[in-house]
Structures are given as C-alpha cells and as structure tokens.
Structure 1
Amino acid sequence: MKNLMAVMGLILASTSFAQTWDANDGKLTLVGCYGKQDGVYCDFSFTLTKKQTSSLYWHKGDFKVFKQDGASDAADHVTFMDDKYDVFGESSIQEIIANVPVKVQAYFNIPSSTASFRALAFDNVKFDNIPVRAYGVASKVPTQLPAAPGVTGFAISLSNCQLQGQNYVCVATLTPTK
C-alpha cells in the first residue's frame, strides 16, 4: 500500500509540471525555448477553448523571462501563426477556431548561449527553471523505462519521460496483476 501511495504521489506530482497558462479564452502551452544567432526564441502552442471563433493578437509585454541573476526582460517581439509583427513588436491579428492548436512565438534579444531561465512568465504567471536548448538540437526523444520493482498487485510502466527543469515528467500506467 505504501508503494502504491508513493506511485500515486509521483503521478499526481508529474501533472503539476505542465507549463500551461489560461490565456485569451484558451490555453497557452510552452513547447520550448532555443537559442539562435540573434537571440532566444520561445515557442508556444495556443488552443482556443472558451469560444468557437476569435480574433486574437499577442502583446509582447505579456511575455517575460527572468535570467539567473534575477533581472527580467520582456519579449522584443511576438508572432502569431504567420511569423509577422508590427513596428511595436506586437503580433498580427488572426481569426482562429476552437480546438485547433496554433503557433505563438516570443523573441528575446538576449545571448543565444543562455542555457536556462530562472523563470518564464506570461501575463504575470511564471514557471521556474526553463531550459534553453541550442538551435538545431532536437528535443530529447521520450524513452520507455522499465517497470518499477517493489509494487505488489500492480505492474507499473513509465513512458514518455521528458526532462523539465531538474525533474523528469512521465506517464505512469498501472496494470493490476491479479
């Protein structure tokens, strides 16, 4: 029973690492950040969930990173679906429909060698320890881990494990053995 509770704690704790914000009548999810020659880009996926259609744009001031020394930088520009932004760095306006994920990208004019952010915030809601990968380096492919030993009455399989900050987030499957 103790082991089952520990596994359930692991499962519940892993759900708290989802880097998703409630935003503009939908959900904004961090896909990842990477350095290029001219700075750091953070890719997001936005899905409209609270309306059937909507005309949206993104304000660069809503996206902010906090460097390791605690200093913050707002995005220099933000793009939405079409990789275009206006003279003020705001995204173009796009008409979107519900439940279809679309790309949002924030650009930060900071050194591309930045390895991580202390935090990344959207609309003043932050997530800590955001890794920044080098451009052209693919995200790690999730690997299947062996079943966890020591739990009686269940076979446990961990899959889709991905590094998020200093922790691994996995999907756990519990199958009764009796």
Structure 2
Amino acid sequence: MKNIALLATVLTAGLSWAGAQTWDTQYGTYTLKGCYPSASMIRCDFSFVLTAENTLNLQPNTGRYEVVAADGKTYEATKVSAGGSPMTNAINLNFYKGVAVPISVIFAAPSSTRTFSVIAMEGVPMNNIQVRGSTPTPVVTTPPTATAPAGVPTGFSLRLSNCKVANGTYTCTATLTPAR
C-alpha cells in the first residue's frame, strides 16, 4: 500500500483526457459528476476509480481544490468528503481497485453561481463547468452480471429490464426464457 496525497500525484501524473468531464490518471479514472448549489455555497461531486494498484491510501483535503467563477473570482474548498465520510477538512481513505469512490467538495462560491470557468485540483484545470439545479442528479448504473451458484437450475436465459435503483436496491422486471 502506498501513502500519497490524493490528487497531488493522481492528477499531476500524465493526464489523458477521455472527455470533457472524465480523465485517466496514473492511478485510475477520475470523473466530475456535477456541481450544484448546496445551502449558501456550491457542492461538486466526483468519483475516482482506482485502476493501477490493488489498494492505495489517499488523503483528500480542502487545500487541493479551488474554482474560478465566470467573473474571475477564485474560491477555495471549505469541506471535503470521500467514500461517504462526513464533510471535513481532510480525510484518510483506502481506495480499492475497480471500486468507484464518491468524493464531494464544498466551495465558498455563492449558491447563485451558474458556471465555473475552471475547477483546479492540484493546479490541474477542468474548464467550463456548469452548475446544475438545486439537487444532484442520481447516477443509475446497471447491476453486474452474475453466474448461477452451484445447485441453482440452469437452462434458462434471464433478461432484466426497466431496472431502477432506490436506496442501493435494484428493482427490475425479469423475463425467464427456456434455453433451446
């Protein structure tokens, strides 16, 4: 396990942009989920998926994040959260390969802000970020494919459709078709 500062190495090491809001770093993939008003400030949500190591210890903290509003005014982060931890000034967290870890950052920018010219993390900019409405848009992902455990009848194909997620639980319509 390596002990490094989150984003100090992750974001400054050989970035290759995969899109406007997702990029690959030396250790994994980092994605901006969005920014939106939160109380009297702005909250931005990210995820980080470790790809280079099995386990890596990282320390997200407020000193690593800042934004520049469309009017040119710079705002520093006031709180950070990672992996479901409470909002604080600094966190020490283990990241595991292939697991998306949510990271949220609160910036002192006014909640009326609608655009950031730049979000800078360890001096690495991401440009032209829109601030969304008053609540974050939930991210819905498809449940992973599973194989039948020993003793479970096979010979059917299973099709899941209309999947919805609520509180971490998937509800789907299942169609079983006998294999021919």
TM-score where L is the length of structure 2: 0.60
Q: Aligned partner of 2:20: which letter?
A: F
Q: Which runs of 5+ in 2 are unaligned?
A: 1-16, 139-180
Report the structure, 1 or 2, having the larger helix content: 1
Q: Helix, strand or coil for the counterpart of 1:64?
A: strand
Q: How many angstroms does 1:85 deviate by? A: 4.3
Specify the alignment match of 2:114 in structure 1: 115
Which residues in structure 2 correspond to 1:39-58 (within 5 Å)? 39-58=41-60
Runs of 4+ in 1 over 4 A off after TM superposition: none
Q: How many angstroms does 1:121 deviate by? A: 1.4
Specify the alignment match of 2:126 in structure 1: 127
Q: 1:15 to 1:49 in 2, by over 3 A?
A: closer
TM-score where L is the length of structure 1: 0.61
Output the aligned Cα RMSD: 2.2
Q: Indicate conservation of the 8 Å contact 2:22/2:29, yes or no.
A: no
Specify the alignment match of 1:84 in structure 2: 86
Specify the alignment match of 2:23 in structure 1: 20
Q: How many angstroms does 1:100 deviate by? A: 0.7
Residues 38-57 of structure 1, C-alpha deviations (whole Å, 9 max, x = no match): 31100000011111012222
Count of matched residue pairs: 122
C-alpha distance in 2 between matches for 1:106 and 1:29: 13
Specify the alignment match of 1:97 in structure 2: 96
Q: Indicate conservation of the 8 Å contact 1:21/1:122, yes or no.
A: no
Q: Indicate conservation of the 8 Å contact 1:28/1:47, yes or no.
A: yes
Specify the alignment match of 2:105 in structure 1: 106
Q: 1:64 to 1:126 in 2, by over 3 A?
A: same
Q: Indicate conservation of the 8 Å contact 1:75/1:107, yes or no.
A: yes
Q: Aligned partner of 1:32: which letter?
A: G
